[in-house]
Every structure is written in C-alpha cells, then in structure tokens.
C-alpha cells in the first residue's frame, strides 16, 4: 500500500514512516527539503511547498492513505508573526491535500489528519473525551480550523480520521528532552503551579494507534491519542525524577516561562486531562498505559 506523509521528517512522522515501511508499505514523505539525510532509511521523499499540489499531486492517484502531520513548531517564542506561521502552515497543508485529492481519479481510502488536545482549551480538573466541545484560546481555535481543513475530502467519499494528539514522549525530541535537562542538573521541578493536566502518550503507542486507525475501515472522526492515565504536570515531574534518580523540587516560575516563550508559555502552564475513550472502545491496547512504564522504557540506557 502506498502511504503519503506530510511532515514525515518530524518527531512523529519519521517514526510512523519507519514503522509502515517495516510493515511492507511504500512510504513517500512530502517535505520542503526531501534530502535523503532527513528521511528515514528506505523511505522515498517528494518535494512539496506545503501549499499546493504542484509536483506531487500525481502521487495521490491510487495511494491508500494520506497522513497530514505538517506544521510549524509551536515550541518556540510566540510573536504575531510566529502565530501566523503556526496557523497558516497547517491550514495551507490541509488545503493542498484537498486539492490533490479532488484532482485524483482514483482517490485514497483514508486521510489521517493531525490535531492536538489543545482543541479542548485549558480545562482544569475536568476529564475530557472526544464528545467534549472545543475551547476558545489560540490553540483551540487553531485545532478546530486545522481539523476542518481536510473535511471536504469526506464529501469525495474518503474516510477521514482526526488524530487529536497529546504530549508525545520520546527520547529524541518534543517535550521530554526539554523537561529532562534541568532534572539532570538537579534543578528539576513542575512548570508553574504544576496542577495543569498533561495528557501524554509514548511515541510507540502513538505510532501503533495511528496505524490501527489507518487500517480499521470503521474508524472515522476524532480520536484522542493520549494514554489512559493523564497526570498533572507536577505528577509527571515527580515520576520523571524518580525514574532518573533526581529530585523534582524546584518549580519553574510562570514568569520565567513567559519571558522565554511569550504567550506560547500558556501551552506549558495550562492543560487538560484527556481520555482516549474512542480508541479504547475500538479495542486498541496501549503498551504504555501509565507514565512510569513509559518513562522507564524511554529512558533505559539502550532505548532509541
């Protein structure tokens, strides 16, 4: 089966591309810079501009799936210009995919559309499922529009799955290496008051859940890709400290995060407790359901 992945050079896309290739799929990564060194081994690259089907649209013909993960990183200092890039990169990618599918005679079976648990907005102690309504802050409004960006393919008969992803834990990128650094210096601790929900997922479970939803013909609509045991940021930091044998005692003050990330600090200082209700109902089994087993697996010396 041919699978196209936008953003397939990133933290999630690389791992998913590798897993699909190992399972025997033909994987093509759409990238702005598809140099072999940026691609997982054995995976083909095709150049795209993230905005139009030019130069790659023909690859959609007869493909099984398109997985849309591309988007400018939100883990940077937010200015009006970065917020615009964060938003436009995602909406433009969705639009390009819709155009490419509209033009294809033989349309793909399924589109997997990335989204994030930021969809729900900051929600205190509430436990949230896919049925809960969206929030209204920048990230929530972004997620709503991002999810909608590929919706027109449904009217073309294409099954569509939304991957509402939590904080992905991996050794080589994303939130964990940034959290780890102060811990290694004996300066680790919760972010702000630490009460905010951190709906995390081990990257291996994310990859398996994405494959499960891609291959399951009944799967459609939004799925929370989060582990069944979301925890507060302080609890995650406590477990992280325990796993690496360092104390979790020095809270990072909110003002310091705001100095570093501007409005983007809200993403770290607020959060939500999200449950993977639809994945569990569909029969998906998590390999790492609790944070301690996930962190131990990621941080054992031989882990990749």
Ligand X SMILES: NC(=O)c1ccc[n+]([C@@H]2O[C@H](COP(=O)([O-])OP(=O)(O)OC[C@H]3O[C@@H](n4cnc5c(N)ncnc54)[C@H](OP(=O)(O)O)[C@@H]3O)[C@@H](O)[C@H]2O)c1
Residues at the interface with ligand X (CB under 6 A): 7, 9-13, 31-33, 50, 69-73, 85, 89, 93, 114, 116, 165, 167-168, 174
Report the nearest approach of ligand X to the CB of residue 114 (Å): 4
Least spacing, CB of residue 186 vs ligand X, in Å: 26
Smallest distance, Å, CB 242 to ligand X? 22
Point out which residues pair with 114 in neighbouring strands: 163
Do 39 and 84 contact (CB within 8 A), yes or no?
A: no
Instruction: In angstroms, give the least distance from the CB of 12 to ligand X.
Output: 4
Q: Which residues pair with 30 in a beta bridge?
A: 6, 46
**Distance of closest approach, residue 157 Cβ to ligand X, in angstroms:** 26
SS3 274: strand
Residue 71 or 276 with smaller CB distance to ligand X: 71
The least distance separating ligand X from the CB of residue 147, rounded to whole angstroms, comes to: 12
Closest to ligand X by CB, 76 or 156: 76
Nearer Cβ to ligand X, position 6 or 248? Answer: 6
**Which residues, including other chains, have CB under 8 Å from residue 39's CB and lie 6 or more apart?**
8, 9, 14, 17, 29, 31, 45
Place of tokens 């990133």: 10
Instruction: Indicate the pairing of strand 2-6 with strand 173-174.
Output: unpaired
Cα(228)–Cα(16) distance, integer angstroms? 21
What residue number has its CB nearest to ligand X?
A: 10
Q: Could you give the C-alpha distances from 39 to 25, 124, 190, 201, 282, in angstroms and in order?
A: 15, 39, 35, 23, 32
Name the residue nearer to ligand X (CB basis): 239 or 274: 274
CA 253 from centre of chain: 26
Nearer to ligand X, 11 or 111 (CB): 11
Tell me whether residue 15 or residue 257 sits nearer to ligand X (CB atom): 15
**Alpha carbon distances (Å) from 128 to 23, 30, 164:** 33, 33, 12
């Amino acid at each position: 089966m041919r699978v196209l992945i936008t953003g397939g050079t990133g933290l999630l896309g690389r791992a998913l591309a590798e897993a699909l290739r190992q399972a025997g799929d033909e994987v093509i990564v759409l990238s702005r810079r598809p140099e072999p060194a940026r691609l997982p081994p054995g995976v083909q690259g095709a150049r795209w501009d993230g905005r139009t089907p030019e130069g790659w649209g023909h690859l959609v013909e007869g493909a099984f799936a398109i997985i849309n993960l591309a988007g400018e990183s939100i883990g940077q200092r937010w200015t009006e210009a970065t917020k615009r890039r964060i938003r436009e990169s995602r909406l433009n990618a969705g639009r390009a995919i819709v155009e490419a599918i509209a033009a294809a005679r033989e349309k793909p079976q399924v589109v997997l559309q990335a989204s994030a648990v930021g969809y729900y907005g900051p929600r205190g102690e509430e436990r949230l499922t896919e049925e809960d309504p969206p929030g209204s802050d920048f990230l929530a409004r972004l997620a709503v529009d991002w999810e909608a960006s590929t919706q027109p393919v449904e009217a073309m008969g294409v099954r569509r799955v939304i991957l509402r992803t939590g904080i992905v834990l991996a050794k080589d990128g994303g939130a964990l290496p940034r959290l780890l650094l102060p811990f290694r210096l004996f300066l680790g601790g919760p972010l702000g008051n630490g009460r905010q929900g951190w709906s995390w997922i081990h990257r291996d479970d994310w990859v398996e859940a994405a494959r499960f939803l891609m291959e399951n013909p009944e799967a459609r609509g939004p799925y929370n890709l989060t582990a069944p045991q979301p925890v507060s940021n302080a609890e995650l930091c406590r477990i992280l400290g325990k796993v690496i044998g360092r104390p979790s005692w020095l809270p990072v003050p909110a003002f310091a995060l705001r100095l570093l990330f501007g409005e983007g600090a809200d993403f770290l200082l607020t959060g939500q407790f999200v449950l993977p209700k639809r994945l569990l109902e569909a029969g998906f089994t998590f390999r790492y359901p609790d944070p301690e087993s996930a962190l131990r697996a990621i941080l054992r010396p031989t882990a990749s």
